[in-house]
Amino acid sequence: SNDKVAGCHVVTQQQQQQQQLLSACDEIAEDATSDSAAVAAEQTGEAVTSKPNPVLLGVGRRQVKRKAVLRHPGSFCNFSFVHSASCFAPEIKRGSRRGSREQKMDRLSSTAILPEAFQGARDDITEQLGVVWQQIKAPVIVPLLRLSVLLCLAMSVMLFVEKVYMAVVIVLVKLFRRRPETRYKWEPMGDDAELGNAAYPMVLVQIPMYNEKEVYQLSIGAACGLSWPSDRIIIQVLDDSTDPAIKELVQIECRRWASKGVNIKYEIRDNRNGYKAGALKEGMKHSYVKQCDYVAVFDADFQPEPDFLWRTIPFLVHNPQIGLVQGRWKFGNAFLPLADTPSSSSPSSLCFVLVLPAHLLCFTPRLRSSEMVPLHQSPCLRRILDFLTSLCYACIAVNSNECLMTRMQEMSLDYHFTVEQEVGSSTYAFFGFNGTAGVWRIAALNEAGGWKDRTTVEDMDLAVRASLKGWKFIFLGDLKVKSELPSTLKAYRYQQHRWSCGPANLFRKMAMDIARNKNVTLWTKVHVIYSFFFVRKIVAHIVTFIFYCVVIPATVLVPEVEVPNWGLVYIPSTITLLNAVGTPRSLHLLVFWILFENVMSLHRTKATLIGLLEAGRVNEWVVTEKLGDVMKTKVAAKAARKPRIRIGDRLHLLELFTGAYLFFCGCYDLSFGKNHYYLYLFLQAITFFVVGFGYVGTFVPQP
């Protein structure tokens, strides 16, 4: 019975709606008839009658009945009844009657045309979104955002404490001159009248490479030029190149050095299993390696100085507990001299150039001596400049001045070597092997299990396993090996992905092994797990992006959540200044470095999460692209011609989307905010856009 009553009620509503439509049509037809009569009266001069035209009224009713058919209760009526009725009205002057007709149309209830389910469609979409936002904001958004702020502040404090700790340690190391030569026995290797060259240990030098057409001659030449008894050194070139032409070039270079009496071996594989780790592991299997005591590793773009072995091997010979001696990457020897000849590179010249604004902008590669000689020849000024150089000396990369991106890399890597590696070596005799410019004791390498390709950081993997066996490491900050920085954005992004994903994945694999190890002290375990892995390799990447590029902009949209000034200003400012101390010559680029590091933290955070979750591109290995001098000359030669640029090669969607988010938050803060966050948000958004459109680094046009 209830269903019947409900059905009758629905039918009654439909009849009422249809009746309202018919009444409205009658009124419209009546107005149209009156308008027609008024026009005719004006033409003939007769009086105007208000009697409706029955014919027109009947036609209007029939039109409405045909058009306004309600198929079912949820459907809506066709609006063509308006046109059907109005087509009978002749064209008249716009006047009061048309206004009255429109008012009558407006009096039609919306329920007569649309059912209640469709009433919300007439509301503004922004108002609906605003209502939804207000409904979920207080119970969901605000608590989640406050929790995110607390977590980010906690991670910021952890990173701050770690940075301050390392700063204190490095100051004490420099203050008390705790150099490796004072902590470990070091004596120069001397000739033995009885043994002759047999008194020198046998050294293996490994050079892994993969399609290194631009730099293979530099690395092979530098390795063959190492000053060590020729019968006590073996140069091993591990060529995994897939290009037959490049293989032939590398083999010809090896033959050329072999003809000069150098003991050089050219080794290839049938596959690239394990990438660099697989090549190094395969190289250690050759029979001639068994006679070697130590192995030095240099990547294809590294050029060691001739005295490299003389400065590293004595530490290993006289200290049997040492398993690794690591040198520092020197980003070149381009000292930008004052004189007109490229051979003038005195420390005073370097320091003088460093303080010149023209050099700070990297617009002038060299200054004419005729402009500066009077000041430069002053003995007093020379002593002052030499003193300043000793305070702010920094190695300038082979290509650190190539573009702004290489300058940013130099700032980050200088801190890594001058602080992080030095602190690890001075306190716990542990740090991560950098994969090149180091000498391993083969016994330590074998005891640790050799090279493994389970992660993309085989060098760090080996270092951690060797340290758990009780081996100690030494870092020599004054032993510099020239290298090349990636100058293209694509190469740098791939490199940072590998350097961020690998440590996170290694932490996942080895955290429990480190905790259960009994060969090292508790403090060493805490240092490796907490400081080395968790804070530096995971927290540092995540907090940089999540806090400064996601959470802080989100607080602009949710003013109920506030970030304290100590977490917003003081802690990041201190961390930034401590990071910048390693490269004094680039202090004027500090703001650009901060913005650029925030952009790169996007990829580092993504790679870190991939490594922790062991998903996606966790084991992706892409060899860092190296341009070398030959390729840079070709690129410069092509600059005169308009390069062929593909839009897809330049656009980076992640950066563009993040930049759009920051720009929106900045506009919102500018309009409604009170904290002036937009000053930072706009700068950061512009940086994301610049990187997103590919206007960073050296762009190599496609052939």
Percent share of the chain, pLDDT over 90:
54
Establish whether 243 is a catalytic residue: no
Tokens representing residue 225 in the block: 């030029």
pLDDT at 201: 94
pLDDT at 298: 97
Burial profile 211-236: b = 16 or more Cβ within 10 angstroms, e = fewer: bbbbbbbbbbebbbebebbeebbbbb
> 53-57, 257-261, 638-642: which has the highest mean pLDDT?
257-261
pLDDT band at 111 (very low <50, low <70, confident <90, very high): very low
pLDDT band at 2 (very low <50, low <70, confident <90, very high): low
Closest-CA residue to 403 (of 327, 491, 343, 477): 491
Establish whether 240 is a catalytic residue: yes
Let me know how long the chain is: 703
Q: 112 or 158: whose pLDDT is higher?
A: 158
pLDDT above 60 (res 283): yes
The residue written with tokens 């003939």 in the block is 44
User: Where does the chain hold its CATH 3.90.550.10 domain(s)?
Assistant: 202-485
Q: Cα separation of 514 and 526, whole Å?
A: 9
Q: Cα separation of 98 and 96, whole Å?
A: 6
Q: Cα separation of 59 and 44, whole Å?
A: 26
Tokens representing residue 147 in the block: 């929790």
Burial of 557 from C-beta contacts in 10 A (0-12 / 13-18 / 19+)? middle
Closest-CA residue to 424 (of 319, 528, 577, 534): 528
pLDDT at 401: 75
Burial of 386 from C-beta contacts in 10 A (0-12 / 13-18 / 19+)? middle
Q: Report, as an integer, the average pLDDT of 673-692.
A: 94
Q: Which CATH class is domain 202-485?
A: alpha beta
| Residue among 35, 414, 459, 461 flagged as catalytic | 459
| Residue among 31, 240, 301, 453 flagged as catalytic | 240
- Using an 8 Å Cβ cutoff, are 565 and 657 in contact? no
User: What is the overall mean pLDDT for the chain?
Assistant: 78
Closest-CA residue to 557 (of 658, 672, 660): 672
pLDDT at 318: 95
Q: Report, as an integer, the average pLDDT of 233-258.
A: 95
297-353 confidence digits (pLDDT tens): 999 999 999 999 999 999 999 999 999 999 999 875 443 333 333 333 333 333 333
pLDDT above 90 (res 472): yes
Q: Which residues pair with 233 in a beta bridge?
A: 203
Distance between the two ends of the chain, CA-based, in angstroms? Answer: 82
- Torsions phi, psi of 145, nearest 5? -70, -40
What kind and span of H or E run contains 206? strand 203-209
C-alpha gyration radius of the chain: 38
